[in-house]
């Protein structure tokens, strides 16, 4: 049996894994990425044309320094790879003033002094004519929001890592992780073992399969994305139509400016079926897309509510929807990254740095309390948030 030796192995070269590989390679670490498919594929959580980046984090003000670090990271990656990955459009949140979106965004803005605030009703109607506001809705605008291109970002980070000396094996499925001799860890593949000082497990929806003894309370959710044609696509271009989040009686949902000059992508946040990532049904049915067509018809103007394109994707959720980042008690020399509960893409370059710190035993620059694995002690595996 072949045994390969390296310093750090990154399992999964998707969203987080590609960024971690890049950040470790930048530090001159001997690192090997192992990816079951290939960077930029469409079978995990990092595909579907676009991801929202917001700075006024309604989830918790503690995310704001992380997103600021991530914006600097995206710009660095753009410079290093001469690609365009992040387009700032500003961001609009619309919902009841006492709902999570509005309350949370305003709180994050107040704590961190962000350029973000309520837009008066008549001004909102003029500036955002595509949005039908409901009685009682509040509109909040933030300057520092935009769109990240997920497939391009993953490919760019993985390529840059390899340029900087990282190893990358694609089409290889990791079968397990076990303690190695001395202070090492072994990664089991069909054709051999890799021995390392540390493993970073960035396997997204497949994390739980690879660390069963950690009993992490993660659930995987099937998500549907759909693209709706615009009658006048010019009105939905990134310079006129910001990324948006809406909280309506149907649930929380979000959308993007047109990136193909034809359609607008819309998706619900949560409310999808819990699935096994190896068994997920990737066929999108009319019934899957119908609820999205309904919110488009009811709450937006200028879009045909019949989708012309749709896709499935997966969230990996924790019970409180905050990330999971750290070493499970049952495993040595292994860092889990990061069960981002459907809102992690924007943070990838910053999480890459944090995970690199953890893998090398350095103190991370940003606090990780919100993401500590020990908060799951006593949790039941399952997700009862039921939010829409
Ligand atoms: C529909 C949708 C919309 C989203 N919208 C946003 C948004 O607007 N803004 C935002 O910030 N976030 C958003 N997110 C969340 C964000 O995309 C995810 O948090 C992020 O992509 C998760 O990255 P990951 O690296 O954990 O998983 P992935 O990107 O899926 O990477 C995991 C990788 O591990 C590989 N792998 C798994 N098992 C093995 C194995 N045994 N051996 C080798 N390789 C393996 C997989 O092939 C995969 O490439 C969204 C997610 C979805 C699904």
pLDDT in tens, 257-284: 999 999 999 999 999 999 999 999 999 9
Query: How many angstroms is it from 107 CA to the middle of ligand 1?
Result: 28
CATH topology of domain 92-143+219-317: D-Amino Acid Oxidase; Chain A, domain 2 (3.30.9)
pLDDT of 388 above 90: no
Query: How many angstroms is it from 44 CA to the middle of ligand 1?
Result: 5
Query: How many angstroms is it from 46 CA to the middle of ligand 1?
Result: 4
pLDDT in tens, 215-233: 999 999 999 999 999 999 9
Query: Given this model, what pLDDT does residue 378 score?
Result: 74
pLDDT of 305 above 50: yes
pLDDT of 318 above 80: yes
Q: How far apart are CA 206 and CA 276, in angstroms?
A: 9
**Whether 315 contacts 51, CB under 8 Å:** no
For ligand 1, whether the C-beta of 11 sits within 6 Å is: yes
Query: Given this model, what pLDDT does residue 387 score?
Result: 34
Average model confidence (pLDDT) across the chain: 96
**Whether 277 contacts 223, CB under 8 Å:** no
Query: Given this model, what pLDDT does residue 383 score?
Result: 36
For ligand 1, whether the C-beta of 350 sits within 6 Å is: no
318 SS3 class: coil
For ligand 1, whether the C-beta of 44 sits within 6 Å is: yes
For ligand 1, whether the C-beta of 203 sits within 6 Å is: yes
Query: Given this model, what pLDDT does residue 385 score?
Result: 34
Contacts of 92 (CB under 8 A, 6+ apart): 128, 131, 139, 140, 141, 242, 243, 244, 245
For ligand 1, whether the C-beta of 146 sits within 6 Å is: no
Instruction: Return the domain boundaries, the chain.
Output: 2-46+151-216+320-375, 92-143+219-317
CATH code linked to domain 2-46+151-216+320-375: 3.50.50.60
- DSSP H/E element including 248: strand 243-248
pLDDT of 167 above 60: yes
Res. 1 pLDDT band, cuts 50 70 90: confident
Question: Average pLDDT in the 45-51 region?
Answer: 98
pLDDT in tens, 69-107: 999 999 999 999 999 999 999 999 999 999 999 999 999
Cis link prior to 287 (omega < 30° from 0)?
no
Residues in the chain: 388
2 SS3 class: strand
Query: Given this model, what pLDDT does residue 384 score?
Result: 35
Side-chain half-sphere of 269: how many Cα atoms within 13 Å? 23
Query: Given this model, what pLDDT does residue 109 score?
Result: 98
Question: Average pLDDT in the 119-130 region?
Answer: 97
pLDDT in tens, 370-383: 999 999 987 754 43
């Amino acid at each position: 049996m072949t045994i390969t030796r390296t310093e750090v192995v990154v399992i999964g070269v998707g969203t987080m894994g590609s960024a971690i590989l890049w950040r470790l390679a930048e530090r001159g670490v001997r690192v090997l990425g192992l990816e079951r498919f290939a960077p930029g594929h469409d079978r995990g959580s990092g595909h579907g044309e676009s991801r929202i980046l917001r700075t006024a984090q309604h989830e918790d003000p503690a995310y704001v320094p992380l997103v600021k670090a991530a914006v600097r990271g995206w710009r660095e990656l753009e410079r290093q790879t001469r690609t365009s990955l992040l387009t700032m459009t500003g961001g609009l949140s619309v919902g009841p003033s006492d709902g999570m979106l509005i309350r949370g965004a305003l709180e994050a803005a107040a704590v961190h002094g962000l350029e973000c605030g309520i837009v008066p009703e008549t001004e909102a109607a003029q500036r955002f004519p595509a949005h039908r506001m409901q009685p009682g809705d509040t509109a909040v605008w933030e300057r520092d929001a935009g769109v990240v291109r997920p497939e391009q970002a993953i490919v760019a980070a993985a390529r840059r890592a390899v340029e900087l000396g990282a190893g990358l094996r694609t089409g290889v499925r990791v079968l397990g992780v076990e303690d190695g001799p001395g202070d090492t860890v072994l990664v089991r593949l069909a054709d051999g073992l890799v021995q390392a000082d540390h493993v970073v497990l960035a396997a997204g929806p497949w994390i739980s399969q690879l660390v069963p003894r950690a009993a992490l309370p993660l659930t995987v959710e099937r998500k549907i994305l759909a693209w709706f044609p615009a009658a006048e696509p010019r009105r939905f271009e990134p310079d006129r139509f910001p990324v948006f989040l809406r909280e309506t009686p149907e649930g929380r949902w979000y959308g993007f400016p047109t990136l193909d000059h034809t359609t607008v992508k819309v998706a619900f946040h949560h409310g999808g079926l819990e699935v096994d990532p190896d068994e997920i049904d990737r066929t999108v049915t009319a019934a899957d897309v119908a609820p999205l067509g309904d919110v488009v018809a009811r709450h937006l103007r200028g879009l045909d509510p019949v989708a012309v394109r749709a896709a499935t994707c997966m969230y990996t959720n924790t019970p409180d929807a905050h990330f999971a980042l750290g070493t499970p008690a049952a495993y040595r020399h292994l860092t889990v990254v990061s069960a981002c509960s459907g809102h992690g893409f924007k943070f990838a370059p910053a999480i890459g740095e944090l995970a690199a710190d953890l893998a090398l035993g350095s103190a991370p620059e940003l606090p990780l309390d919100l993401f500590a694995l020990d908060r799951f002690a006593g949790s039941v595996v399952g997700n009862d948030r039921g939010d829409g």
